[in-house]
Structure 1
Amino acid sequence: MKQRFFAVDLGATSGRTILGSLSDKGLEMEEINRFPNRLIEVKGHFYWDIYVLYQNIVDGLKLAAQREVEITSIGIDTWGVDFVCVGEDGHILRQPYAYRDPQTIGAPEVFFSRVPRSRVYELTGIQVMNFNSLFQLDTLRRNNDSALAAAQKILFIPDALSYMLSDEMVTEYTIATTAQLVNAKTRKLEQELLTSIGLTEKNFGRFVYPGETIGSLSKYVQEQTGLGVIPIIAVAGHDTGSAVAAVPALNGNFAYLSSGTWSLMGIETDAPVVTTETEALNFTNEGGVEGTIRLLKNICGMWLLERCRSEWGGISYSELIRDAQASEPFRSFINPDDELFANPAYMEKTICAFCSTTGQPIPDNRARVVRCIFESLALRYRQVLENLCKLSSKPIEVLHVIGGGSRNDLLNQFTANATGKTVIAGPSEATAIGNVMVQAMAAGVSKNISEMRRQINASIPLTTFQPQDAEVWNQAYVKYRALLNDKSNIDLK
């Protein structure tokens, strides 16, 4: 009998539930429901609505039950770093802060006044970003946050949702690594850092790794959905971990680009790479499946365009891409990772201000803004990939682009042109596929990650992009690098 796996895949702007299965026909995926995930702004702070997310998951389970489909297991993946505080009575104490909340601006520097930056990186191997859970928790502690003060447990978002479904509290390894609280070598919570923010291991749930069983649907959720005792599996709870598990590579000589709201570019290694060079380059060592490490760099991705689209009334991607393709090339660039673009009030205005202050032509229409975003991302990808090539012990022969951005043919071609590497695009639903495949591995349907990737490669249509126009892209890269080195501070007031 065909086994079906229920995947919950939550991103920073939307979520979905999917039924996946493996058969002689290969991998089959069916979307059950899709829903928005909106930031809630209250008095200058940004929150996630954990209850709405839970209700949408329950709605998906109800729809699956109505189809009388037998579900083998359930797995949940989400974005990283954010968490909920759970009180002594087991209730969530308030809505979780979102990583784009401004309260952690400057937080790393405050923390490093007590624990040196180099020590934090030596222990964790994690890229320093102001919204990492370590700095969020330290900020809440310094602000005498009432929820943290009353918290008995701290649960990362996928673990919190698993708890709401099962009453079991766990800390899943891949999502925990994004917190900058896990020792890269021992792959356990690091007590030195916990002590520095007034916490202990007892403040977290049972530590689990991808493929382990968390628990099963609680009696209440069974009654609510009409389902039976279904196990909940710890997949790679961090969505990038699930996405990278679904890279359809046939050998290990590849880099990946998980392209969505964030772009995450990296390679897979068997052990953490924590050196003075990776620290200087601010590379991160996040946990993966089957004991692998994802040596990667976070790059601001389609967030830039998503914010512009919201300002433009939601104009279609296809129209924007078509107009950008016809627009003048290499007119102006931005640094996608400049803190200006983290969460500005007006993204288009911020892009124009960056270009104006750096002495470039202002992108004065939508097509030019989109062209500026895509070319800047492609050139940033080249910069990061060059560093990965130096760090990798294996040759990087191909760049796999996965996630929603793999459907963007123009950006994929720009990426091939800029990097000089063959780009293989797909699958677009990599995160959900990786979620399903880890569940399949736990059920014994798939043996290991290598077999899993061969199955995905054989099941999913892929598109290949070969590098073009090397000389003009090389010239553009020289201009881009000079711009980044010479950029002065920008005042948007």
Structure 2
Amino acid sequence: MKDAYFFAVDLGATSGRTIIGHLFNNQLELKQLTRFPNKIIEIKGHFYWDIYALYNEIINGLKIAAEQNIPIQSIGIDTWGVDFVFFGKDGDILRAPYSYRDNHTVGAPEEFFKITPREKVYGVTGIQIMNFNSLYQLYTLRKNHCSALNAADKILFMPDALGYLLTGKMVTEYTIASTSQMLDPRTKQLNKELMEAAGVKPEQFAPITFPGEQLGTISEEIQAMTGLGPVPVIVIAGHDTGSAVASVPAENERFAYLSSGTWSLMGIETKNAIINNESFEKNFTNEGGIEGTTRFLKNICGLWIIERCKKELKTLPAYSYDELNKIAIKAPAFRTLFNPDSPCFANPSSMTESIKNYCKVTNQPIPETDGEWVRCIFESLALRYRQVFADLQKMAPFTIEVLHIIGGGSKNELLDQFTCNSLGIPVVAGPTEGTAIGNIMMQAKASGLVNTIEEMRKLIRASIETVEYFPKDNDIWEEGYKKYLSVYRTDI
């Protein structure tokens, strides 16, 4: 394998990075160039993303690569899902894009179902009903007479919008479009009826493009700004979870994955979408993957909860994650448990107050010490994972033999072991940089250095270190799960 350098832009809902992936001798080596916050801006009661700041950070990363004389072969961009940008006929941005955490879509799905029944929406898309899905965002903006939507010539999802700013070319990448609840996984195209019910036109979206295709090259303006030549921009799996799942170092198909970060996403990789009465009732989602695969999964609230509590509690911010684990393991087991996906934890003004209220409603003791706060969060996440895993196994077309935990949360040894104990199957943790690795490997595939998912995963296994966990304390966790189910609520 010849030496090759790939530039990955990995944008999460709280921070972003630019990373260089160096492929050589069938090995992959990562080098982070920049890391920066992705801040939500509040203006007049609404929450927005600063797309101009994100664009500027990409340019900064490219400048550094040029200064270091790194011969970049291509560029790939991945971001979180569902959010989008409006562009006018002149090709300019009309307004800062809304963040999915804005509460303007609360109750929107129920209103939309008066036009198009819930069963039909799910039957067409196979996507988990969540109020912030693009479908309900667009419906709400149309209902509220959004001037930017009224004037929009094109609507681009976040990675596609940033790709356009780099190249001047517009596409709708398949995996990111699949998060919108407007795409039919059977036809792999946006559904005209759903779009029109939301108040948008099919021609407002660019053509669907699949991972591995070339978008274009960076513009002459950006070449002059950065000192680079006409570097190609590759359409990779633009949804960060799509890129992350591409990095799972699995040896066969009989695995589940848990992409652990701000959100936790648990699922399996299948050839075809799973859309039936059970998946509808359990609210599972079918999102696009690479090589035409489907990511059948469930969105679960993740480390968002502990991060919010760290900001609110006076002493928690002083702890590293290793230190949090040490104080948590000393606290009583299963003293306080809650459903991380209860509506009260979506975007509360105070996360700690929401947990306290949940405790009061369910007649549980409120956490008092730092260790009790951390332990109740980690145990509640691990038990919620078990609940979702049980549903997932029932619908999977194969027996799940191992859980792969990827993403930043895979570094949390205590949560990894709790998850292993809770599910009762082996866990393999890593890679932590799963999204960036999947981004880079799709660029490598586009360049012809690897040809299949299997080849990608073989190279990843040879390049990264993973940690294996095996179930412990089965009887204790069975009792903990019984208690969790007794206090499980979806109406708080």
TM-score (norm 2): 0.98
Q: Does 1:482 align with 2:486?
A: yes
Give me the whole-angstrom Cα distance separating, in 1, the residues matched to 2:246 and 2:435. Answer: 8
| Residue of structure 1 equivalent to 2:418 | 414
Partner residue, 2:380:
376
Aligned partner of 2:122 in structure 1 is: 121
User: Any stretches of 5+ residues in structure 2 without a counterpart?
Assistant: none
Residue type matched to 2:409 in 1? G
Q: 3-state SS of the aligned residue for 1:266?
A: strand
1:152 alignment counterpart: 153
Provide the C-alpha distance between the structure 1 equivalents of 2:490 and 2:127, rounded to a whole number of angstroms: 28
Aligned-pair CA distance for 1:25: 5.9
Q: Specify the SS of the correspondent of 1:432.
A: helix
Partner amino acid, structure 2, of 1:88: K
Matched AA of 2:90: D
Q: Give the Å deviation of 1:50.
A: 0.2
- Separation in 1, partners of 2:385, 2:143: 37
Match of 1:170 in 2: 171
Aligned to 1:359: 363
Moved more, 197-206 or 166-175: 197-206
Residue in 1 that maps onto 2:94: 93
Q: Distance in 1 between matches of 2:325 and 2:476?
A: 21
Secondary structure at 1:257's aligned position in 2? strand
SS state of the match for residue 391, structure 2? Answer: helix
Q: Which amino acid aligns with 2:38?
A: N
Which of residues 322, 327, 349 is equivalent to 1:323?
A: 327
Partner residue in 2 for 1:469? 473
* 1:14-29 paired onto structure 2 within 5 Å: 14-24=15-25, 26-29=27-30
- How far apart, CA to CA, are the structure 2 residues paired with 1:413 and 1:255? 16
1:56 matched to which residue of 2? Answer: 57
> What is the aligned counterpart of 1:448 among 447, 452, 456?
452
* Distance in 2 between residues matched to 1:365 and 1:50, nearest whole Å: 40
- What is the SS of the residue equivalent to 2:450? coil
Query: Take 2:207 and 2:112, find their aligned partners in 1: how far apart are those partners?
Result: 27
**Contact 1:13–1:36 (8 Å) recurs in 2:** yes
CA distance in 2 between partners of 1:368 and 1:356 (Å): 16
> How many Å separate the matches in 1 of 2:267 and 2:10?
21
Whole-angstrom CA distance in 2 between matches of 1:197 and 1:280: 23
Partner of 1:390: 394
8 A contact 2:339–2:490 mirrored in 1: no
Partner secondary structure for residue 164 of structure 1: helix
Question: What is the letter of the counterpart of residue 478 of structure 1?
Answer: K
Structure 2: distance between partners of 1:108 and 1:98: 17
The Cα of 1:482 is off from its aligned counterpart by 1.7
> 3-state DSSP class of the match of 1:237?
coil
SS of the residue aligned with 2:443?
A: helix
The 3-state SS of whatever aligns with 2:208 is strand
C-alpha distance after superposition, 1:12-43 (max 9, x if no partner): 00000001022116111100100001111112
Alpha-carbon distance in structure 1 between the residues aligned to 2:3 and 2:462: 19
**Alpha carbons 2:214, 2:232 under 8 Å: kept:** yes
| Structure 1 SS opposite 2:456 | helix
CA distance in 1, matches of 2:184, 2:197: 14
* More divergent stretch after superposition (444-453 vs 19-28): 19-28
- The residue number in structure 1 matching 2:407 is 403
* Cα distance in 1 between the residues matched to 2:190 and 2:114: 22
1:46 and 2:50 are equivalent in the alignment: no
Superposed displacement of residue 488, structure 1: 8.1
Output aligned runs, 1:13-412, within 5 Å.
13-24=14-25, 26-312=27-313, 314-315=317-318, 316-412=320-416
* Letter in structure 2 aligned against 1:185: R
Using the aligned pairs only, state the percent identity.
Answer: 56
Q: Is the 8 A contact 1:358 1:488 kept in 2?
A: no
The 4+ residue runs of structure 1 with deviation greater than 6 A are none
Which residue matches 2:6?
Answer: 5
Deviations 1:89-135 (A, max 9, x none): 11101110000001000000000000000000010000000000000
Distance 2:195 2:95 in 1: 22
| Count of residues in correspondence between the two structures | 488
Contact 2:8 2:20 in 1 (8 A): yes
What residue number does 1:435 align with? 439
Looking at structure 1, the residues matched to 370 and 447 of structure 2 have their Cα atoms a distance apart, in angstroms, of 49
| Contact 2:410-2:430 within 8 A present in 1 as well | yes
Q: Which amino acid aligns with 1:161?
A: L
Q: Name the CA distance, whole Å, in 1 between partners of 2:242 and 2:455.
A: 17
Give secondary structure in 2 for the equivalent of 1:178: helix
Q: CA RMSD in A?
A: 1.0
Partner of 1:59, secondary structure, is helix
Cα deviation 1:441-460 (Å, max 9, x = unaligned): 00001111111011111110
Tell me the TM-score normalized by structure 1.
0.98
SS in 2 for 1:51: helix
**Contact 1:268–1:295 under 8 Å retained in 2:** yes
Q: Which amino acid aligns with 2:148?
A: A
* Contact 1:47 1:96 survives alignment (8 Å): yes
Which residue number corresponds to residue 462 of structure 2? 458
Matches of 1:43 and 1:311, distance apart in 2? 24
SS in 2 for 1:452: helix
**Contact 2:306 / 2:374 at 8 angstroms: preserved in 1?**
yes
Alpha-carbon distance between aligned partners in 2 of 1:140 and 1:195, rounded to the nearest angstrom: 13
Paired residues of 1:246 and 1:433 also in contact (CA < 8 A): yes
Aligned equivalents of 2:139, 2:382: Cα separation in 1: 35
Q: Is the 8 A contact 2:342 2:491 kept in 1?
A: no
Kindly state the Cα deviation for residue 365 of structure 1 after the two structures are TM-superposed: 2.4
Contact 1:406/1:428, CA 8 A, preserved across alignment:
yes
Distance in 1 (alpha carbons) for counterparts of 2:384 and 2:127: 20
Deviations 1:31-59 (A, max 9, x none): 01000011111121111100000000100
Q: State the shift of 1:2 in Å.
A: 1.2
Q: Work out whether residues 74 and 234 of structure 2, in 8 Å CA contact, stay in contact via their aligned partners in 1.
A: yes
The one-character-per-residue Cα deviations of 1:158-198 (angstroms, maximum 9, x if unpaired) are 00100111111110000000000101210101111111123
CA distance, structure 2, for counterparts of residue 33 and residue 489 of structure 1: 41
One-letter code aligned to 2:127: I
Structure 1 residues 346-365: Cα deviation after superposition (integer angstroms, max 9, x where no partner)? 11111111112110011112
Q: What is the SS of the residue equivalent to 2:59?
A: helix
